[in-house]
Amino acid sequence: MTENEIKNLEEIFEARIARDEKIEPKDWMPEKYRKSNIRQISQHAHSEVVGMLPEGNWITRAPSLRRKVALLAKVQDEAGHGLYLYSAAETLGISREEMYEQLHSGKAKYSSIFNYPAVTWADMGTIGWLVDGAAIINQVALCSTSFGPYARAMVRICKEESFHQRQGYEILLTLCRGTQEQKAMAQDALNRWWWPSLMMFGPIDAESPNTEQSMKWKLKRKTNDELRQQFIDQTVPQAEILGITIPDPDLKWNEEKKQYDFGEIDWDEFWQVVKGHGPCNKERMDARVSAWEEGNWVRDAAMAYAEKQHDKKLKDVG
């Protein structure tokens, strides 16, 4: 293709984005757009799959059969989300194996929130309420993202996530209406998960390297800071209903701005975890890598068996 032809295609592409048209896998797209999408979608898929670990850790210990079933179903939904998202990324010409490889080698990131340990039952409630709550805010914005397969996957995922969030909140509501010990468990979980949840929206806008281009291509529809503010404004009243205290002495309603002011996020902690040195980064990666490596012989067997069946069929027909 000549330079002029590419320029022409780029103009058509930009015009389609401007008209809010969806870009489909077979459409021409700039290489950078393809790469950005692969990065974002695979990162999201990895987050779902790594996110299964802290909650999966509580399935055998869930305090009632009803909670156990709900938690299993939730973790299963996350596996399902991982599947749709990997499939959406595959339409851009990358295989699931390659994406796994990037995850295992540390080249691809996943949401840092899953590098925090889930140490009590109240964490199952708090993860649902705050982590899924924050994820929904990010994801609702993505339902109108410009890449068609991603946008469609997000519509379905958002429905399930909002169910998870209500389920998490309900766990906490039960704890907060329970004994002193249960309420203390809920408060402790909020203390530990609040700040990491705010970090889920990423660095402040001025320091977010991908935001500008992502906004331009409508991969992202709102900035990190806008989304974070929306999350805080929506979550504070929910904490009030629970009767537990958000661990931020600077949190205060700002009548003029009609939003909450909040304290300084510990960005050193954020970068430490992003760079791989959070409380569970190593454990999460070890768990994923060993699942993959220990599953090798199983996947090989499934392939070999499928080939044998295929050959047999050909022979029968022949």
Partner 1 sequence: MNNNNLYNYILGIADNTLILGQRLGELCGHGPALETDIALTNIALDLFGQTRNYFQYAALLVGDGKAEDDVAYMRTERNYFNVLLVEQPNTHFGYVMGRQFLFDVYHLLLLEGLQNSSDITLAAIADKGIKEVTYHKRFSGDWMKRLGDGTAESRQKMQEAIDDLWRYTDELFQLTKADKAMIYEGIGVDVSNFKEAYYQEVSEILNEATITVPENKYFTSGGKKGIHTEHMGYILADLQYMQRTYPNMKW
Q: What are phi and psi of 38, to 5 degrees?
A: -60, -45
Query: Residue 30 CB, nearest distance to partner 1 (Å)?
Result: 30
CB 150 within 8 A of CB 88: yes
Q: Convert residues 71-90 into a mask of x (bound to partner 1 by CB under 8 A) and - (unbound).
A: -xx-xx--xx-xx--x----
Contact status: 156 vs partner 1 (CB under 8 A)? no
Could you tell me which stretch among 31-39, 209-217, 228-236, 285-293 binds partner 1 (CB under 8 A)?
Answer: 285-293
Contact status: 66 vs partner 1 (CB under 8 A)? yes
Degrees (nearest 5) of the Cα angle 149, 150, 154?
115
**Amino acid in the structure at residue 91:** T
- What residues contact 201, with CB distance under 8 A and at least 6 apart? 134, 137, 138, 224, 225, 227, 228, 231
Contact status: 95 vs partner 1 (CB under 8 A)? no
Contact status: 238 vs partner 1 (CB under 8 A)? no
Query: Residue 92 CB, nearest distance to partner 1 (Å)?
Result: 19
Contact status: 296 vs partner 1 (CB under 8 A)? yes
Query: Residue 36 CB, nearest distance to partner 1 (Å)?
Result: 24
The H or E element that residue 213 is part of is helix 211-216
Distance CA(80)–CA(85), nearest Å, equals: 9
Tell me the β-bridge partners of 261: 252
Copy the structure tokens of residue 283: 């454990």
2 or 296: CB nearest partner 1: 296
* Interface with partner 1 (CB under 8 A): 49, 52-53, 56, 59-69, 72-73, 75-76, 79-80, 82-83, 86, 121, 171, 174-175, 178-179, 181-182, 287, 290-292, 294-305, 308
